Amino acid sequence: MSSLPHPFTPQEPSLLELGTAPEEPCLRADAARNRARLLEAAARLIAEHGVAGVTMEAVATAAKVGKGTVFRRFGDRTGLLMALLDHSGRQLQADFLGGPPPLGPGAPPLERLRAFGIAVLYRSAEQLELQLAAQPEACRRFSHPALQALRTHVTMLLRQIVPDADCELLAQTLLASLDPALIHHLTRQLGMPMERLEAAWVDLVARVTRTDPPA
Protein backbone atom coordinates (compact mmCIF):
# COMPACT_ATOMS: atom_id res chain seq x y z
CA MET A 1 0.00 0.00 0.00
CA SER A 2 0.80 3.67 -0.23
CA SER A 3 3.05 3.84 -3.24
CA LEU A 4 0.84 6.42 -4.92
CA PRO A 5 1.33 10.13 -4.35
CA HIS A 6 0.37 11.07 -0.85
CA PRO A 7 -2.19 13.77 -0.21
CA PHE A 8 -0.19 15.17 2.64
CA THR A 9 2.54 17.28 1.13
CA PRO A 10 3.63 20.01 3.48
CA GLN A 11 3.78 23.14 1.40
CA GLU A 12 3.35 25.49 4.26
CA PRO A 13 6.55 27.30 5.19
CA SER A 14 5.58 27.77 8.81
CA LEU A 15 5.04 24.17 9.70
CA LEU A 16 6.70 24.91 12.98
CA GLU A 17 3.74 26.77 14.35
CA LEU A 18 1.60 23.79 13.60
CA GLY A 19 -0.49 23.14 16.67
CA THR A 20 0.95 25.49 19.21
CA ALA A 21 0.36 23.36 22.27
CA PRO A 22 -3.27 24.28 22.78
CA GLU A 23 -3.96 22.99 26.27
CA GLU A 24 -0.50 22.98 27.78
CA PRO A 25 0.02 26.50 29.11
CA CYS A 26 3.73 26.86 28.50
CA LEU A 27 6.36 24.41 27.44
CA ARG A 28 9.96 24.55 28.44
CA ALA A 29 12.17 25.88 25.67
CA ASP A 30 13.75 22.55 24.79
CA ALA A 31 10.41 20.80 25.00
CA ALA A 32 8.81 23.22 22.55
CA ARG A 33 11.74 22.90 20.21
CA ASN A 34 11.54 19.14 20.24
CA ARG A 35 7.82 19.21 19.73
CA ALA A 36 8.26 21.26 16.59
CA ARG A 37 11.05 19.01 15.39
CA LEU A 38 8.90 15.95 15.90
CA LEU A 39 5.93 17.31 13.99
CA GLU A 40 8.19 18.37 11.16
CA ALA A 41 9.85 14.97 11.07
CA ALA A 42 6.51 13.20 11.11
CA ALA A 43 5.21 15.31 8.23
CA ARG A 44 8.35 14.56 6.26
CA LEU A 45 8.05 10.85 6.90
CA ILE A 46 4.45 10.88 5.73
CA ALA A 47 5.41 12.68 2.56
CA GLU A 48 8.19 10.20 1.90
CA HIS A 49 6.87 6.82 3.00
CA GLY A 50 3.19 7.34 3.64
CA VAL A 51 1.46 7.06 6.97
CA ALA A 52 2.68 3.52 7.44
CA GLY A 53 6.21 4.87 7.57
CA VAL A 54 5.39 6.93 10.62
CA THR A 55 6.84 4.68 13.25
CA MET A 56 7.36 6.19 16.64
CA GLU A 57 10.98 5.20 16.56
CA ALA A 58 11.42 6.49 13.02
CA VAL A 59 9.97 9.83 13.99
CA ALA A 60 12.17 10.00 17.04
CA THR A 61 15.26 9.18 15.04
CA ALA A 62 14.40 11.58 12.24
CA ALA A 63 13.89 14.33 14.78
CA LYS A 64 17.16 13.37 16.51
CA VAL A 65 15.32 12.77 19.73
CA GLY A 66 14.75 9.87 22.11
CA LYS A 67 11.73 7.65 21.71
CA GLY A 68 10.49 8.48 25.18
CA THR A 69 10.27 12.12 24.22
CA VAL A 70 7.77 11.37 21.50
CA PHE A 71 5.52 9.53 23.89
CA ARG A 72 5.76 12.09 26.65
CA ARG A 73 4.77 14.85 24.25
CA PHE A 74 1.98 13.16 22.32
CA GLY A 75 0.92 10.32 24.57
CA ASP A 76 0.77 7.71 21.86
CA ARG A 77 0.84 7.23 18.15
CA THR A 78 -2.74 8.33 17.77
CA GLY A 79 -1.93 11.51 19.66
CA LEU A 80 0.85 12.31 17.23
CA LEU A 81 -1.37 11.75 14.22
CA MET A 82 -4.08 13.84 15.83
CA ALA A 83 -1.64 16.66 16.36
CA LEU A 84 -0.83 16.61 12.67
CA LEU A 85 -4.52 16.62 11.85
CA ASP A 86 -5.16 19.50 14.18
CA HIS A 87 -3.80 21.90 11.66
CA SER A 88 -6.46 21.57 8.99
CA GLY A 89 -8.98 21.10 11.74
CA ARG A 90 -8.34 24.58 13.02
CA GLN A 91 -8.45 25.89 9.49
CA LEU A 92 -11.94 24.60 8.90
CA GLN A 93 -12.97 25.79 12.31
CA ALA A 94 -11.83 29.30 11.52
CA ASP A 95 -13.65 29.14 8.21
CA PHE A 96 -17.09 28.47 9.61
CA LEU A 97 -16.63 30.59 12.70
CA GLY A 98 -15.39 33.77 11.10
CA GLY A 99 -14.98 33.16 7.39
CA PRO A 100 -17.10 34.42 4.52
CA PRO A 101 -20.59 33.06 3.78
CA PRO A 102 -22.09 30.67 3.09
CA LEU A 103 -19.79 28.82 5.49
CA GLY A 104 -19.26 31.69 7.89
CA PRO A 105 -21.83 33.94 9.57
CA GLY A 106 -23.97 36.05 7.29
CA ALA A 107 -25.90 33.38 5.45
CA PRO A 108 -29.13 31.84 6.76
CA PRO A 109 -28.56 28.84 9.07
CA LEU A 110 -29.95 26.27 6.70
CA GLU A 111 -27.62 27.36 3.97
CA ARG A 112 -24.66 27.39 6.33
CA LEU A 113 -25.49 23.89 7.42
CA ARG A 114 -25.50 22.67 3.84
CA ALA A 115 -22.20 24.34 3.11
CA PHE A 116 -20.72 22.95 6.28
CA GLY A 117 -21.41 19.36 5.40
CA ILE A 118 -20.01 19.75 1.95
CA ALA A 119 -16.87 21.37 3.29
CA VAL A 120 -16.30 18.55 5.74
CA LEU A 121 -17.02 16.05 3.02
CA TYR A 122 -14.33 17.31 0.73
CA ARG A 123 -11.82 18.00 3.44
CA SER A 124 -12.16 14.43 4.63
CA ALA A 125 -11.82 13.11 1.14
CA GLU A 126 -8.35 14.60 1.01
CA GLN A 127 -6.74 13.61 4.25
CA LEU A 128 -8.20 10.16 4.22
CA GLU A 129 -4.97 8.33 4.75
CA LEU A 130 -4.10 10.35 7.80
CA GLN A 131 -7.61 10.34 9.19
CA LEU A 132 -7.83 6.61 8.93
CA ALA A 133 -4.40 6.00 10.37
CA ALA A 134 -5.47 7.88 13.46
CA GLN A 135 -8.37 5.46 13.85
CA PRO A 136 -7.01 2.01 13.23
CA GLU A 137 -9.52 -0.56 12.07
CA ALA A 138 -12.01 2.21 11.56
CA CYS A 139 -13.17 1.05 8.16
CA ARG A 140 -13.41 -2.65 8.83
CA ARG A 141 -16.60 -2.26 10.74
CA PHE A 142 -18.41 -1.24 7.58
CA SER A 143 -17.63 -4.41 5.71
CA HIS A 144 -18.51 -6.72 8.55
CA PRO A 145 -21.16 -9.15 7.27
CA ALA A 146 -23.42 -8.71 10.29
CA LEU A 147 -23.53 -4.98 9.77
CA GLN A 148 -24.17 -5.47 6.09
CA ALA A 149 -27.22 -7.49 6.96
CA LEU A 150 -28.52 -4.69 9.14
CA ARG A 151 -27.86 -2.21 6.40
CA THR A 152 -29.65 -4.26 3.79
CA HIS A 153 -32.62 -4.58 6.06
CA VAL A 154 -32.85 -0.90 6.82
CA THR A 155 -32.41 -0.04 3.17
CA MET A 156 -35.23 -2.37 2.27
CA LEU A 157 -37.55 -0.82 4.85
CA LEU A 158 -36.67 2.64 3.67
CA ARG A 159 -37.43 1.74 0.08
CA GLN A 160 -40.95 0.87 1.14
CA ILE A 161 -41.37 4.11 3.03
CA VAL A 162 -39.55 6.70 0.94
CA PRO A 163 -38.95 5.15 -2.46
CA ASP A 164 -37.69 8.37 -3.98
CA ALA A 165 -34.79 8.88 -1.60
CA ASP A 166 -31.22 7.58 -1.81
CA CYS A 167 -32.08 4.77 0.54
CA GLU A 168 -28.61 3.23 0.73
CA LEU A 169 -27.06 6.40 2.00
CA LEU A 170 -29.99 7.18 4.21
CA ALA A 171 -29.57 3.74 5.75
CA GLN A 172 -25.89 4.43 6.31
CA THR A 173 -26.79 7.56 8.18
CA LEU A 174 -29.40 5.88 10.31
CA LEU A 175 -27.04 3.08 11.21
CA ALA A 176 -24.27 5.53 11.92
CA SER A 177 -26.44 7.05 14.60
CA LEU A 178 -26.65 3.62 16.25
CA ASP A 179 -22.91 3.04 16.27
CA PRO A 180 -21.83 1.26 19.46
CA ALA A 181 -18.94 3.61 20.02
CA LEU A 182 -21.27 6.58 19.73
CA ILE A 183 -23.73 5.02 22.13
CA HIS A 184 -20.95 4.40 24.58
CA HIS A 185 -19.80 7.98 24.33
CA LEU A 186 -23.26 9.40 24.80
CA THR A 187 -24.32 7.21 27.70
CA ARG A 188 -21.09 6.64 29.57
CA GLN A 189 -19.08 9.75 28.91
CA LEU A 190 -21.89 12.27 28.54
CA GLY A 191 -24.30 10.52 30.85
CA MET A 192 -27.32 10.57 28.59
CA PRO A 193 -30.09 8.14 29.58
CA MET A 194 -31.06 5.47 27.10
CA GLU A 195 -34.56 6.87 26.98
CA ARG A 196 -33.27 10.01 25.40
CA LEU A 197 -31.39 8.08 22.75
CA GLU A 198 -34.49 6.06 22.10
CA ALA A 199 -36.62 9.17 21.70
CA ALA A 200 -34.02 10.70 19.43
CA TRP A 201 -34.07 7.60 17.24
CA VAL A 202 -37.82 7.69 16.89
CA ASP A 203 -37.71 11.37 16.09
CA LEU A 204 -34.93 10.87 13.58
CA VAL A 205 -36.86 8.16 11.81
CA ALA A 206 -39.91 10.41 11.70
CA ARG A 207 -37.95 13.29 10.23
CA VAL A 208 -36.09 11.25 7.68
CA THR A 209 -39.17 9.43 6.44
CA ARG A 210 -41.50 12.42 6.42
CA THR A 211 -42.68 12.29 2.86
CA ASP A 212 -44.41 15.49 1.92
CA PRO A 213 -42.48 18.05 -0.01
CA PRO A 214 -45.34 20.03 -1.63
CA ALA A 215 -42.65 21.64 -3.78
Residue from 15, 16, 47, 56 in contact with DNA (CB under 7 A): 56
Residue 12 Cβ vs a copy of itself, minimum distance, rounded to whole Å: 18
**Footprint (CB under 7 A) of DNA, residues 9-48:** 27-31, 33-34
Pair 161, 184: CB distance under 8 Å: no
# residues contacting DNA (CB under 7 A):
23
# residues contacting a copy of itself (CB under 8 A):
91
**Footprint (CB under 8 A) of a copy of itself, residues 187-206:** 187-189, 192, 194, 196-206
Residue 82 CB burial class (10 angstroms; 0-12, 13-18, ≥19): middle
**Footprint (CB under 8 A) of a copy of itself, residues 86-145:** 86, 89-90, 92-93, 96-97, 109-110, 112-114, 116-118, 120-122, 124-125, 127-128, 131-132, 134-145
Residue 74 Cβ vs DNA, minimum distance, rounded to whole Å: 9
Nearer to DNA, 27 or 186 (CB): 27
End-to-end CA distance of the chain: 48
How many other CB atoms sit within 10 Å of the CB of residue 98? 10
Give 30-38 contacts, CB < 8 A, sequence gap 24+.
31/73, 34/63, 34/65, 34/69, 34/73, 35/73, 37/63, 37/64, 37/65, 38/63, 38/65, 38/69, 38/70, 38/73, 38/74, 38/80
The DSSP H or E segment spanning 146 is: helix 145-161
Nearer to DNA, 68 or 106 (CB): 68
Nearer to DNA, 134 or 154 (CB): 134
Strand partners, 105: 107
Alpha helical stretches, state H, 50-76: 56-62, 67-74
Euclidean distance between CA atoms 126 and 102, whole angstroms = 21
Residue from 47, 49, 71, 209 in contact with a copy of itself (CB under 8 A): 209
**Footprint (CB under 7 A) of DNA, residues 62-101:** 64-69, 71-73, 76-78
Nearer to DNA, 59 or 170 (CB): 59
Contact positions vs DNA (CB under 7 A)? 27-31, 33-34, 54-57, 64-69, 71-73, 76-78
